A and B are shown apart, each in its own frame.
Chain A
Amino acid sequence: MVSLAELQAQFGSGIAERTFRDNRFIDVPAEQLLNVLSALKTQFSFNMLIDITAVDWLDYEGATDRFSVVYLLLNVDSGERITVRAAVNLPDPALPSVCSLWMGADWMEREVYDMFGISFTDHPDLRRILMPEEFSAFPLRKDYPLKGRGERHNFPVITRSEG
């Protein structure tokens, strides 16, 4: 079991812990994210990165930051799981890439970039992964309208006589 005290001794008191039922969440300041994650991987054997995703807290009651990026980790040997969260804000939300720790982070970070517009520094190939290249918005941001900004309308209309 990784204990909060151990992490705080190493990385200072900016690290906070929260539990819900038997799930543990650790909040990490963005500057320390890469160090904490690499310590979790090397010292505490969280050798598998399950997923990276993000939350947009726009208009959420009591929220102080705009986005949280969420890392779900698993220790394959002991079955222990932990969730690490880091907050980022506009205008330029960015975090260090963890591709150097877990290769599988490559596409996960591309998805977060595609959907939320959060960029990852030192990512080997940060392109959109789901939306077309020319798409200009980030559709999972809460201020993006559900029905789009006209993207689905801008195609030529083919009539019967020309087709």
Chain B
Amino acid sequence: MAVGLPENIFITRLDAAANWARSNSLWPMPFATACCGIELMATAASRHDLARFGAEVMRFSPRQCDLLIVAGRVVMKMLPVLQRIWLQMPEPKWCISMGACACSGGVFDTYAVVQGVDRFIPVDMYVPGCPPRPEQLLAAVIDMQEKVRRTGTIMGREFVSRDTSTGPSPFDLQEQYRIEDSRLVQLGGFSAAATSTAEGDA
């Protein structure tokens, strides 16, 4: 090399160095609310060993974490808690939605269960399955590392442009069609805002 650097010095971009460090030491926040949480524990346990990918340090304080893993169904009463935990995590941070319930509500299409956390918080990676096998979660963590390496910047500039929600809207017209119970409309139970959105779409 023309510059003649000593052997133990190499040149890189600051962003790439930060990404390399961050992606190999993700600290997950286990938001385990249901059966998927068991699979999350299995992923961290000795057989599947999440530690091989540097993500074994599960912290139960969101302020020490940078990867939120939503494992399990989230009910209406729990959603404000989930949002608060997400807001408490320091930047930069990412989110994995694990299992059918966290992604879409799964089979629990009832009054109390939120139909996918991506309606209310940003999600970077979806893991399908009920529950996903530990291998699938490992694959998601590896993909997450790849995403961090590709898009990460040391100042978190990549997040600034993501100022619109990418999930389905909290209330969409299709969902109203899916509600077979015609009494719902008769009783006029929808809030004014939701009803006007529905009319606007139609």
Interface residues of A (CB under 8 A from B): 131-132, 137, 139, 143-163
| A146 and B171 within 8 A (CB) | no
C-alpha spacing A68/B182, complex, angstroms? 25
Docked complex Cα distance between A131 and B161 (Å)? 37
* Contact in complex: B111, A144 (CB < 8 Å): yes
Contact across chains for B86 and A158 when beta carbons are under 8 A apart: yes
Which one of A146, A151, A155, A161 contacts B120 once the chains associate, using CB atoms below 8 Å? A155
Count of interface residues, chain B, beta-carbon cutoff 8 Å: 39
Taken together as a complex, chains A and B put the C-alpha atoms of A158 and B122 apart, in Å, by 7
Q: List chain B residues, Cβ under 8 A from A163.
A: 86-87, 93, 121-122
Contacts of A153 in B (CB 8 A): 170-171, 191, 194
Nearest Cβ in chain B — how far from A73, in angstroms?
31
B47 interface hit (Cβ, 8 Å): no
**B171 engages A150 (CB within 8 Å):** yes
Asked if residues B183 and A160 are in contact (CB atoms below 8 Å), the reply is no
Cβ of A155 and Cβ of B194 under 8 Å apart?
no
The complex places the Cα of A106 from the Cα of B187 at a distance, in Å, of 32
Question: Which chain B residues lie closer than 8 Å to A157 at the CB level?
Answer: 119-120, 165, 167, 170
Residues B162 and A160 in contact, CB atoms below 8 Å apart: yes
B4 within 8 A of A: no
- Chain A residues near B122 (CB-CB < 8 A): 158-160, 163
Residue contact B163 to A146, C-beta cutoff 8 Å: no
Bound Cα distance from A68 to B161, whole angstroms: 57
Q: Which residues of B154-202 have CB atoms within 8 Å of chain A's CB atoms?
A: 159-165, 167, 170-171, 178-179, 181, 183-184, 187, 189-191, 194
Question: In the complex, how many angstroms separate the beta carbon of A149 from the nearest chain B beta carbon?
Answer: 3
Q: When the two chains form their complex, are residues A159 and B163 in contact, meaning their CB atoms are under 8 A apart?
A: yes
Contact A145 B179 (CB under 8 A): yes
Please, how many angstroms separate the alpha-carbon atoms of A139 and B183 in the complex?
A: 14
List A contacts of B61 (CB < 8 A). none
